[in-house]
């Protein structure tokens, strides 16, 4: 019998152990998770230092690094979990969104593993993976809740109505918040990765430069939409104008003022979304969720009022455990792929 004919009849186990593979950007991540909630192993091999020389992720270097690291990451995950291949119930892999060449390494490897081990192959959306990191952070978390998805590629506020149904209340109409952090870091000559470096600099600065409030006036879209392109341009213009006039800028203040403008709007919109829906739980997902100012602002605004779920920083940025956790949900539904699975540079938020 062909692989898929056999695999699609696999009996579903409630306490399934899923091996999750993530290679959408510069992290080769492999994790093993039981029943979507319990992390049994979690390996990350990052190629970030190789990209730092170029000021951003170089797709070809990312793809090559995944090729070199993926076997080691998988072997280490198995070794550290104390399990062997027979204990694994399915292989979950990020199919998109991300860098196509990088994704292809993970998808090809996952297909080979699924075929060789005779296990179901479960394709996972990277975006949904980020949201599922909250199920690892809070073992009792159940939908419905509001999630703020703030990453390098996306910025959105969503209702998680049930484990499978997302409703996007609003999203960015141009740049993502993480992208704005990275571009502002570049103009301030900070090394890659930009986000954490802006945060470090901002800690020493004052919020004393007035950058524009985004989508505040006369905007006809959703009140939950975001825009970061204008803010990014305002910061770039501020820095260039000072350079042309031969004036010194206080980089710490630029970073701090930018960070306030970029983050405060997320916290405000999250509050509005909670009011609109009446939900009593707010979860954070995506790399910018690692930002200390955002984490503190959320705690200051919501602690004691609602249930707040903020994953550990390691589970805000890319990791394999979030893919295994989301993979478990898809596995429960029998969403298996055959061996024609391909990588996708773009996937919708749904
Ligand atoms: P993701 O797209 O979810 O993988 O997250 C990557 C994005 O998160 C990049 O744009 C990073 O600059 C951003 N990021 C990571 N850590 C931080 C931080 N501490 N503060 C702000 N942005 C961050
Ligand atoms: Mg990501």
**For the chain, percent of residues with pLDDT exceeding 70:** 99
Decide if pLDDT at 106 tops 90. Answer: yes
Same structural domain, 29 and 160: no
Decide if pLDDT at 58 tops 90. Answer: yes
User: Which residues have CB under 8 Å from 304's CB, separation 6+?
Assistant: none
Q: Which of 127, 195, 289 has most ligand 1 atoms within 8 Å of its beta carbon, as the pocket-test mutant?
A: 195
What's the domain range around 67?
3-132+317-332
Phi–psi pair at 239, nearest 5 degrees? -70, -45
| Nearest CA owner, ligand 1 atom 5 | 287
CA of 155 to the centre of ligand 1 (A): 11
The confidence score (pLDDT) of residue 216 equals 60
- Among residues 105, 102, 97, the alpha carbon closest in space to that of 153 is found at 97
Same structural domain, 175 and 89: no
Decide if pLDDT at 210 tops 70. Answer: yes
Cis peptide before 144 (omega within 30 of 0): yes
The confidence score (pLDDT) of residue 35 equals 98
Residue 217: band (very low, low, confident or very high) from pLDDT cuts 50, 70, 90: low
Q: Tell me, yes or no, whether 272 lies in a domain.
A: yes
What does DSSP say about strands 165-171 and 281-285: parallel, antiparallel, or unpaired? unpaired
Same structural domain, 322 and 218: no
Closest ligand 1 atom, residue 193 Cα: 12
Same structural domain, 38 and 55: yes
Average pLDDT over residues 26-54: 95
Question: What is the distance between the alpha carbons of residues 193 and 176, in angstroms, rounded to a whole number?
Answer: 15
Q: What is the mean pLDDT of the chain?
A: 96
Average pLDDT over residues 97-124: 98
The confidence score (pLDDT) of residue 218 equals 66
| Nearest CA owner, ligand 1 atom 22 | 195
Same structural domain, 81 and 224: no
Q: Tell me, yes or no, whether 337 lies in a domain.
A: no
Closest ligand 1 atom, residue 24 Cα: 4
DSSP helix/strand/coil, 107: helix
The confidence score (pLDDT) of residue 193 equals 86
Q: Tell me, yes or no, whether 119 lies in a domain.
A: yes
CA of 123 to the centre of ligand 2 (A): 16
Same structural domain, 20 and 120: yes
CA of 195 to the centre of ligand 1 (A): 5
The DSSP call for residue 114 is H
Among left, alpha and beta (phi > 0; psi -120 to 50; other), residue 200 is: alpha
DSSP helix/strand/coil, 328: helix
Question: What is the distance between the alpha carbons of residues 145 and 107, in angstroms, rounded to a whole number?
Answer: 30
* pTM of this structure: 0.96
Question: What is the distance between the alpha carbons of residues 179 and 23, in angstroms, rounded to a whole number?
Answer: 19
- Among residues 255, 249, 262, the alpha carbon closest in space to that of 204 is found at 255
Closest ligand 1 atom, residue 286 Cα: 3
Q: Which of 155, 181, 293, 316 has most ligand 1 atoms within 8 Å of its beta carbon, as the pocket-test mutant?
A: 181
* Inter-CA distances, 140 with 36, 117, 307, Å: 12, 32, 11
Q: Tell me, yes or no, whether 339 lies in a domain.
A: no
Residue 252: band (very low, low, confident or very high) from pLDDT cuts 50, 70, 90: very high
Q: Tell me, yes or no, whether 343 lies in a domain.
A: no
Q: Answer yes or no: are the C-beta atoms of 238 and 249 closer than 8 Å.
A: yes
Average pLDDT over residues 317-331: 98
Domain of 51, CATH number, reads: 3.30.420.40
- Among residues 164, 170, 168, the alpha carbon closest in space to that of 135 is found at 164
CA of 177 to the centre of ligand 1 (A): 8
The confidence score (pLDDT) of residue 339 equals 96
Average pLDDT over residues 83-95: 97
Which residues have any ligand 1 atom within 6 Å of their CB? 25, 130, 151-153, 178-179, 181-182, 193-196, 199, 286-288, 290-291, 317-318
Same structural domain, 299 and 321: no
CA of 126 to the centre of ligand 2 (A): 7
Same structural domain, 11 and 156: no
CA of 25 to the centre of ligand 2 (A): 7
Residue 90: band (very low, low, confident or very high) from pLDDT cuts 50, 70, 90: very high
CA of 185 to the centre of ligand 1 (A): 12
| Nearest CA owner, ligand 1 atom 2 | 152
Q: Tell me, yes or no, whether 342 lies in a domain.
A: no
Closest ligand 1 atom, residue 150 Cα: 3
Residue 219: band (very low, low, confident or very high) from pLDDT cuts 50, 70, 90: confident
Closest ligand relative to 129 C-alpha = 2
Same structural domain, 230 and 302: yes
Question: What is the distance between the alpha carbons of residues 248 and 23, in angstroms, rounded to a whole number?
Answer: 41
Ligand 2 ion: residues within 5 Å (CB):
151, 318
Residue 52: band (very low, low, confident or very high) from pLDDT cuts 50, 70, 90: confident
Average pLDDT over residues 266-287: 97
Q: How many folded domains does the chain comprise? A: 2
pLDDT tens column, 140-160:
999 999 999 999 989 999 999
Same structural domain, 175 and 292: yes
Same structural domain, 25 and 108: yes
Q: Answer yes or no: are the C-beta atoms of 267 and 294 closer than 8 Å.
A: yes
Question: What is the distance between the alpha carbons of residues 32 and 92, in angstroms, rounded to a whole number?
Answer: 10
Q: Tell me, yes or no, whether 341 lies in a domain.
A: no
Question: What is the distance between the alpha carbons of residues 53 and 58, in angstroms, rounded to a whole number?
Answer: 10
Closest ligand relative to 153 C-alpha = 1
Same structural domain, 153 and 294: yes
Q: Tell me, yes or no, whether 251 lies in a domain.
A: yes
């Amino acid at each position: 019998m062909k692989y898929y004919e056999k695999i699609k009849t696999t009996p579903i186990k409630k306490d399934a152990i899923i091996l999750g593979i993530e290679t959408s950007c510069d992290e080769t991540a492999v994790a093993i998770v039981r029943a979507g909630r319990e992390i049994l192993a979690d390996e990350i091999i990052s190629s970030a230092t190789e990209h730092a020389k170029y000021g951003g992720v170089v797709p070809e270097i990312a793809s090559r690094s995944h090729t070199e690291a993926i076997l080691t990451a998988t072997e280490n995950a198995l070794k550290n979990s104390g399990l062997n291949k027979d204990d694994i119930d399915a292989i979950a892999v990020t199919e998109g969104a991300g860098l196509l060449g990088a994704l292809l390494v993970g998808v090809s490897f996952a297909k080979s593993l699924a075929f060789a081990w005779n296990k179901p192959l479960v394709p996972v959306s990277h975006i949904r993976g980020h949201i599922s990191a909250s199920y690892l952070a809070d073992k009792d978390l159940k939908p419905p809740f509001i999630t703020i998805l703030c990453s390098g590629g996306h910025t959105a506020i969503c209702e998680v109505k049930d484990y499978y149904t997302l409703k996007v209340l609003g999203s960015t109409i141009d740049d993502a918040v993480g992208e704005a952090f990275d571009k502002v870091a570049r103009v301030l000559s900070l090394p890659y990765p930009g986000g954490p470096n802006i945060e470090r600099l901002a800690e020493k600065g004052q919020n004393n430069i007035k950058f524009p409030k985004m989508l505040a006036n006369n905007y006809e879209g959703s009140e939950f939409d975001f825009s970061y392109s204008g803010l990014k341009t305002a910061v770039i213009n501020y820095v260039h104008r000072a350079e042309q006039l031969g004036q010194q800028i206080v980089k710490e203040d630029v970073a701090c003022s930018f960070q306030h403008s970029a983050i405060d709007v997320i916290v405000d919109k999250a509050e509005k979304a909670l009011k609109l829906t009446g939900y009593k739980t707010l979860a954070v997902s995506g790399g910018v969720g690692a930002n200390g100012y955002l984490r503190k602002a959320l705690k200051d605004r919501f602690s004691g009022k609602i249930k707040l779920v903020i994953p550990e920083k390691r589970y805000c940025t890319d990791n394999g455990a979030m893919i295994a956790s989301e993979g478990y949900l898809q596995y429960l539904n029998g969403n298996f792929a055959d061996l024609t699975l391909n990588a996708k540079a773009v996937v919708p938020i749904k």
